[in-house]
Every structure is written in structure tokens, then in C-alpha cells.
Amino acid sequence: MGGVWYFGNDGVARLVSEEAGERGKVLVYHPTNEAIRSYAELQQKLALLGWRRYPNEQPGTLQFHKGPSSNHLITLPSDFRCFRMRHMLDIIMKNRDYFVIRDA
């Protein structure tokens, strides 16, 4: 289980699970301020940025790459309900000026 450690004023640390911390968060395509609500929407936005579906996807995943000259690969679970903060952060790190995470 992943998460973030928070340290209180009393010196006690507590682990907040990733799932609890990401409720109410949404990936937003910054140029148009559109919230991404499905993989169809995400794939359309990634295509505008030069990302294409990877031809040799692993079972249970969706993968995107920028072509043979790039070593960047975005790997997502095939079920959008399993799309988590770590996946959003991966997309943002590889497309810094185009995506942000906001409260839903």
C-alpha cells in the first residue's frame, strides 16, 4: 500500500493511504481547462501532444509512447476506475505544461 507520511505537532507520524488522499482529485488538460473523465478523452489529448498507443501493450494495461526515438512510456491500468494519483503524476511529469491535478 502506498501513501504519504504526515507528521503532527505532537511528533506522531501517520500514513495516509494513496487512495484516501486522492479522493476528489481529477486530471485536467490545462490549455482548455477540461477535466479528463475517460481514457477516450485522455487518449485524444495525448494524441495532440504526439503520444501514440504502444503496439506491444502488456495485458491489463494501456501504454502510450512518443515513437521509436523516445524512451518515454506511459503505462496505465486498462480499467479507468483503477486510474490513480501515481498515474496522473506520471502523465504530468512527461507533459509538464499540459496537465495539472485539481480538486474535483
Predicted confidence (pLDDT) per residue in 52-92, tens digit: 998 887 889 999 999 888 889 999 999 999 999 999 999 99
Give ∠ CA 61-38-49 in degrees, rounded to 5: 80
**Parallel, antiparallel, or unpaired: how do β-strands 73-77 and 61-65 relate?**
antiparallel
Question: Where residue 19 falls among pLDDT bands split at 50, 70, 90?
Answer: low
Specify the higher pLDDT residue, 71 or 12: 71
Computed over every residue of the chain, the mean pLDDT equals: 87
Three-class secondary structure of residue 25 per DSSP? strand
Domain coordinates of the chain in residue numbers? 24-103
